[in-house]
Structure formats: C-alpha cells, structure tokens
C-alpha cells in the first residue's frame, strides 16, 4: 500500500509539473480593461426610435483586451467592447496604429463589439440617416469617437505590458434564450420545442489560468442581439450583466464577451431590466458550468490568417426609384432616399463591391473564425458543419458595415435581407453571391491558419 501511495504522489506531482511547464514555457497572456462610459449624456446607438440623448448609466461600459503570445513568441490581440460596432473608418485606424506600435498584422488583431443597443453612437456612415442629431450632439460624437480610438490603442499597450505565463483551455456550453426573430412572434412563445427557424445555442468559452492556477480571464460568446433594453441609460445589456456576474463570482478574473452570429437572433421576451438580468445570469451559469468541468488544454501554438473578399452589391436604384421612395416612405427610409437622391443628382458614382473581413485563429487545436457585419445564424451553422461543431464563430468583428444575410434571408427580404442596408448608409442591397463568397473565403482562410477542413 505504501508503494502504491508513493506512485500516486509521483503521478500527481508529474501532472502538476506538466501543467506548470506548459504555463512557464508556453502561452503568455496579458489583460487590461478601460471604462468607456461617456462622461456626459449623448446620443445612444441602435434604435432609430429614440428621440433624445442618454440619461445616466445603469452600469458602466467597458473596453477589454486579451494579448496572447505563444511558445514561439508569435502574438495576437483580442479587443471586445460595449459598443454597437467597430465601423470600418474606426477599425482601420485602430488596427493601423496597433500594427505600427506592436508589429501586428491584421491577421493578429480581432476587434469584436458586443453590439449593445445601450451604448454611445460612434462616427459612422449612417450617422446622418438614422440619428437626428443636432450640431452640438454631433460634436460630442466626434469628440467621443476620437477619445475612444485613443483608449483602444492605450488598452493594447497595457495588455502587452501585462504578459505573464498562463495555460489556455477551451470548451463549449449551451443556453437557450436566443430566438430567431424572423420566424417567431413573442406573443406565441411557450416552449423551446415550438420555436421556428435556425438557431445555434452554443456558448464558446476560453479559460486563461495563471501559472499558480488562478483564473486570470474568461473569454466567452453567444449569438444573440443585446436588445433586451431600449431605454436611455448606458448599459452592456444582457452581456454586461453576464460579465458583472462572472467577475463577482471569480474575483480577480476579467470576463470578456464576444458577439457571435446573432444578426437574426433576439432574446425574447424583452424590454425590461429584470429580463436583461435574467438572461445575463443564464449565460453566466452556462459559462460557469464549462469552467468547472474538464476543459481541453490548448497547446501553446498560435496561427492566424486574414483575408478581405469583395462582396458584390446589387443594382443601385435610379433617380426615379429614389424619388418614389422619398415620397412614399417615412423615418430612416425616407431620409436614406433623400440622401441618396442628392448624391445621384450631384453625379456621384457608387461602388460595386465592398471589402469584407474574414479571419481565422488556431489556438492549439481550437479553431476560431471571426467575420464582419451583423452575421446571421446560418453562417455559424454552415461553417460548423464544414469545420467541426466545436469551432468558435464570431460575427461583428473588425467592421460592422450592415447585416450579412444568408442567401435564404436575402431571397425572403425583410429588414435583415433588404432595408437594413439602408439604415447603415449603403446605397443598395447585396448581390445573391454573398453567402457563397463568404463561405468560400472562410474555408480558405481557415486552411491558411492550419485549421483542417475535411
């Protein structure tokens, strides 16, 4: 018995030394966060129905960063934020500055927004179309946006300065409060089994533990619109409540939420603070379950890849079509038509393509894809069928230029398939090749990052 006990001690010691060796000679990670709650009331992003600026805060808004370095010294940076989106004009500037300071290519940087509809308006193409801002409010937006970009750059610097040996783990959980909003009416919801339309209930989780096995960071995602709240107080909506709950449960750890392919998914029912808290706690419980079960250890090798694919636009409306739309519509559709009509009358020409970002990371054997725009759920479902069900899928990354409808949604029309592009200030809808172009580029990008494609 004494010999058996000694062997047990030796096995446990070797196991402990093995994990310690991975941390000491493998991954390094650094974290940082900055409070980005506006210091004054200003216009809020997400709902065109709002008629005035914000009125205080329910809880603070945050930018959070995770810097990674593998055993070969290869680095990457994930930044998440309680904002509506990293628009191209903002994202390009941020990534260029980070590249200059830290020598990172675009393949090594992911900027992902939670897409909360209770955060500030940032400078973007649709500013004049959906937000009826005064000149004074416009100046606030410009000032805040400039400050915001500077804070992202400072955050990256802090995260890399805080690098220390860690171990990375990954796993997938599940929670079921997302509802396909195109196929379900909240008034008829009774059972999950009765829900219609495609869903992906996965909760991807990455755990980062320090060399002394203390939880350092929790990176997790879900594919669902943060539109539970529609009032006038700043908040991160349900993801904000999830991060608050996790950081309270695990003192000293930083919780980072990334948005998945939630373009056509809502939390239903909604529109009350208790519901936002409920969904936040449901998601936190799912993440906690994954953290406390056995998770896959990720070997300390990082590979990345990045491409931009030209998405084709459909035919642009002509002068007569725009006049008719301006005369027969109201709200942002009328404003959009008038805005585009002025451009046509001034002799403007519209682009025929848009550069769409597709990115892949491979952390050990964990595949992660990040794609731009308000990605709809069918992309997640189809890419997981190709790359494997444990693949992590991010939408809303590096550029939020409009909704990214599947071919099915594009044919069906509706907001996500048709009119949403106008809300983003685009001159027309997408061509029917959109889905095939994105899927093909995603597969190519995954292969370039060393992710196996059966």
pLDDT tens digits, one per residue of 258-306: 999 999 999 988 999 999 999 999 999 999 999 999 999 999 999 999 9
Residue 11: its pLDDT value, please?
41
Instruction: Report helix angle 434-448 to 377-387, nearest 10.
Output: 40
Taking the CA atoms of 379, 385, 387 and 390 in sequence, report the sign of the dihedral they define.
positive
- pTM reported for the whole predicted model: 0.91
Nearest-angstrom CA–CA distance, 98 and 148: 14
The H or E element spanning position 23 is helix 2-25
Instruction: Tell me: pLDDT of 155 over 80.
Output: yes
Nearest-angstrom CA–CA distance, 135 and 312: 35
pLDDT tens digits, one per residue of 21-30: 444 579 999 9
pLDDT tens digits, one per residue of 219-251: 999 999 999 999 999 999 999 999 999 999 999
Residue 192: its pLDDT value, please?
60
Ranges 43-47, 131-135, 325-329, most confident = 43-47
Instruction: Write down the domain spans for the chain.
Output: 25-302+357-401, 314-345
Bond before 439 cis per omega within 30 degrees: no
pLDDT tens digits, one per residue of 338-375: 888 988 888 888 999 999 999 999 999 999 999 999 99
Beta strands in 151-199 (DSSP E): 164-174, 178-180
Span 174-191, average pLDDT: 76
Instruction: Tell me: pLDDT of 103 over 80.
Output: yes
pLDDT tens digits, one per residue of 34-68: 999 999 999 999 898 888 999 999 999 999 999 99
The set of long-range contacts for 382-385, using a CB threshold of 8 Å and a minimum separation of 24, is: 382/439, 383/439, 383/442, 384/200
Span 134-150, average pLDDT: 94
Residue 4: its pLDDT value, please?
45
Q: Measuring CA to CA, how many Å separate 405 from each of 174, 194, 378?
A: 24, 24, 9
- What proportion of the chain, given as a percentage, has pLDDT over 90? 74
Nearest-angstrom CA–CA distance, 32 and 219: 13
Residue 131: its pLDDT value, please?
83
State the virtual CA torsion across 249, 250, 255, 259 in degrees, nearest 10: -50
């Amino acid at each position: 018995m004494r010999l058996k006990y000694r062997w047990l001690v030796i096995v446990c010691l070797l196991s402990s030394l093995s994990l310690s060796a991975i941390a000491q000679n493998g991954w390094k990670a650094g974290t940082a966060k900055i409070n980005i709650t506006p210091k004054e009331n200003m216009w809020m992003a997400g709902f065109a129905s709002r008629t005035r600026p914000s009125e205080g805060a329910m809880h603070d808004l945050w930018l959070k960063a995770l810097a990674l370095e593998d055993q070969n010294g290869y680095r990457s940076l994930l930044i998440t934020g309680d904002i509506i989106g990293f628009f191209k004009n903002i994202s390009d500037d941020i990534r260029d500055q980070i590249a200059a300071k830290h020598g990172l290519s675009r393949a090594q940087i992911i900027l992902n927004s939670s897409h909360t509809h209770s955060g500030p308006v940032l400078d973007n193409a649709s500013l004049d179309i959906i937000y009826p801002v005064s000149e004074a409010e416009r100046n606030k937006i410009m000032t805040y946006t400039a400050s915001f970009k500077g804070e992202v750059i400072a955050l990256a610097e802090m995260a890399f300065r805080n690098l220390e040996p860690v171990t990375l783990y990954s796993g997938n959980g599940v929670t079921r409060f997302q509802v396909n909003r195109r196929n379900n009416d909240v008034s008829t919801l009774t059972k999950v089994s009765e829900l219609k339309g495609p869903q992906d209930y996965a909760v991807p989780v990455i755990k980062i533990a320090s060399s002394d096995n203390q939880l350092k960071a929790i990176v997790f995602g879900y594919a669902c619109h943060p539109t539970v709240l529609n009032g006038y107080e700043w908040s991160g909506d349900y993801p904000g409540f999830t991060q608050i709950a996790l950081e309270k449960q695990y003192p000293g750890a930083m919780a980072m939420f990334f948005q998945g392919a939630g373009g056509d998914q809502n939390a239903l029912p909604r529109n009350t603070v208790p519901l936002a808290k409920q969904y936040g706690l449901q998601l936190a419980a799912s993440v906690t379950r994954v953290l406390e079960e056995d998770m896959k250890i990720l070997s300390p090798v990082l590979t990345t890849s990045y491409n931009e694919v030209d998405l084709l636009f459909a035919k642009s409306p002509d002068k007569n079509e725009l006049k008719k739309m301006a005369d027969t519509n109201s709200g942002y559709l009328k404003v959009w038509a008038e805005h585009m009509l002025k451009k046509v009358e001034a002799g403007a020409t519209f682009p025929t393509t848009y550069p769409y970002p597709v990115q892949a990371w491979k952390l050990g054997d964990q595949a992660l894809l990040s794609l731009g725009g308000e990605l709809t759920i069918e992309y997640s479902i189809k890419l997981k069928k190709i790359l494997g069900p444990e693949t992590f899928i991010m939408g809303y990354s590096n550029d939020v230029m409009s909704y990214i409808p599947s071919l099915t949604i594009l044919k069906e029309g509706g907001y996500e398939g048709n009119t949403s592009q106008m809300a983003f200030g685009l001159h027309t809808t997408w061509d029917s090749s959109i889905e095939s172009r994105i899927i093909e580029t995603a597969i190519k990008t995954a292969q370039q990052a060393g992710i196996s494609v059966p």
